[in-house]
Amino acid sequence: MSLVEETLYGVRDKPAMAIELLREFVPPEGFYLAYSGGKDSTVLLDLARRSGVKFDAWYNRTTVDPPELVRFVRSQDGINENHPEISMWDLIVKKRMPPTRIARYCCEHLKEGGGMGRRVLTGVRAAESYRRSKRQQIETCFKDGHKQYYHPILYWSDTDVWDYIRSRNLPYCSLYDEGFKRLGCICCPMIGKAKQIRDGERWPKYKEQYIRAFQRMLDTRLADGKPPTLNWVTGQDVWDWWTRKPDETPDNDETLPLFE
């Protein structure tokens, strides 16, 4: 794949097509650009600037962002920062359970706010996952009918993204040079157990924060009169369960009470 391709229907210039989409659909108040600091939103930000359209860029701080990512975002000009009303640590206690692949309550509270009633630009790409491969370039938010999502680089490949970054000599977060393929919340359950453990080793203070939050969660559950789950006694027990591989899960897994 290439950023500029010869097809049966003529030349397909992906950056030019993205810029054309931005110029065609920019609203009078401008776009709300959802900026994560990752490689995709780095490309999106540059395309928006090149297009000349009006926009304001926002970074949603989750409280479990890699420090290197936060420093990179803050080194960029013109990025506004949203802070959540509750931290991940307090959210775990409030929900009485750790976030899981099934119950990703953290995304709603920490990442998906902002842009209500606006036209929101994102760096979502179909190549990232099966679910994202089903997305459309323009979508209406199912929670807010007045909020629309625009994905200018939806059909770009990983190679396209890196080719663009290098051709434009754009700065990017140093974690990519350490071998990280995607950037996000530290120990996110969606990245898989091995990478959760990797994150815990890479950022041990965050692992300690999770264990402390799990301990507070257990204390709160006990105060609520909820019985122990999965033989959890300490926050370390919860961490060990949270980062356990699926094939290590016992047949009589008692996770169900968490979701009641």
Q: What is the pLDDT of residues 155-188, one digit of tens each?
A: 999 999 999 999 999 999 999 999 999 899 999 9
Amino acid making up residue 104: R
Which secondary structure element, helix H or strand E, spans residue 117, and what is its range? none
Q: What is the mean pLDDT of residues 113-140?
A: 87
Q: Once rounded to an integer, what is the mean pLDDT over residues 108-127?
A: 88
- Please say whether the beta carbons of 26 and 53 come within 8 A: yes
Most confident of 68-72, 100-104, 189-193, 229-233: 68-72
Q: CB–CB of 42/18 below 8 Å?
A: no
For range 92-102, the mean pLDDT: 92
Please state, in angstroms and as integers, the Cα–Cα distance from residue 5 to each residue in 10, 50, 146, 168, following that order.
8, 21, 35, 18
Q: Which helix (H) or strand (E) holds 10?
A: strand 10-13
Is it the case that residue 74 has pLDDT exceeding 50? yes
pLDDT of residue 259: 41
pLDDT at 31 over 60: yes
d(CA 221, CA 151): 41
Residue 70 in this model has a pLDDT that exceeds 80: yes
Q: What is the mean pLDDT of residues 130-152?
A: 86
Q: What are phi and psi of 117, to 5 degrees?
A: 75, 10
Confidence band, pLDDT 50/70/90 cuts, at residue 8: low
Half-sphere exposure of 160 (CA within 13 A, CB side): 24
224 vs 126: CA distance, rounded Å: 43
Closest CA to 41 of 119, 120, 118, 133: 120
Residues 183, 66: contact at Cβ < 8 Å?
yes
- Please, what are the domains in the chain? 4-178 (3.40.50.620), 189-259 (no CATH)
